[in-house]
Structure 1
Amino acid sequence: MSALTKMWVSFIGIGLMAGSAFLIMFARHKTKGWIRTVLSIVSFVMLLFGILYGFVSII
């Protein structure tokens, strides 16, 4: 994998992790009930993909 590709993969991972943090903050402060649960699950999945992209960019 070229250095330029690794850079973009790492940017995607960083973006997913930042998006996950903002989504979980929004879900916990502004929503209630099942919407909060759904947003929390989506945030967790985004975090997992962000971590995966981070590891791929290192390799």
Structure 2
Amino acid sequence: MSASMMNMWISFIGMGLMILSVFAIYVSRYKLKNGFLKAISALIAYACMIIGGLIMVYIVFSGPA
């Protein structure tokens, strides 16, 4: 697999993590009533957002393949 194809799949993973974090934050804020589950859901969401953001920064600054 070429480097550019690898970057494409890595960027798809980053975007997927960001979409997952949006849904997890929505569930955490509006659907869950239990405080413990809200905290766990929010923690997972923010972790996914940070990892997805770092992946996007890597892809942008790695330059053209």
- TM-score normalized with structure 1 length: 0.91
Between Structure 1 and Structure 2, whose CA radius of gyration is higher?
2
Deviations 1:6-42 (A, max 9, x none): 1011000000000000110011111121110111011
Amino acid at match of 2:52: G
How many residues are matched?
59
Q: Could you tell me which amino acid in structure 2 is paired with residue 55 of structure 1?
A: V
The one-letter code sitting in structure 2 at the alignment partner of 1:43 is A
Gapped regions of structure 1 (runs ≥ 5)? none
Report the equivalent of 2:53.
51
Which 4+ runs in 1 deviate beyond 3 A? Answer: none
Higher relative contact order (CA 8 A, sep 6+): 1
TM-score where L is the length of structure 2: 0.84
* Unaligned stretches of 5+ residues in structure 2: none
How much does 1:56 deviate? 1.5
Task: After TM superposition, list the pairs within 5 Å mapping 1:2-21 onto structure 2.
Answer: 2-21=3-22
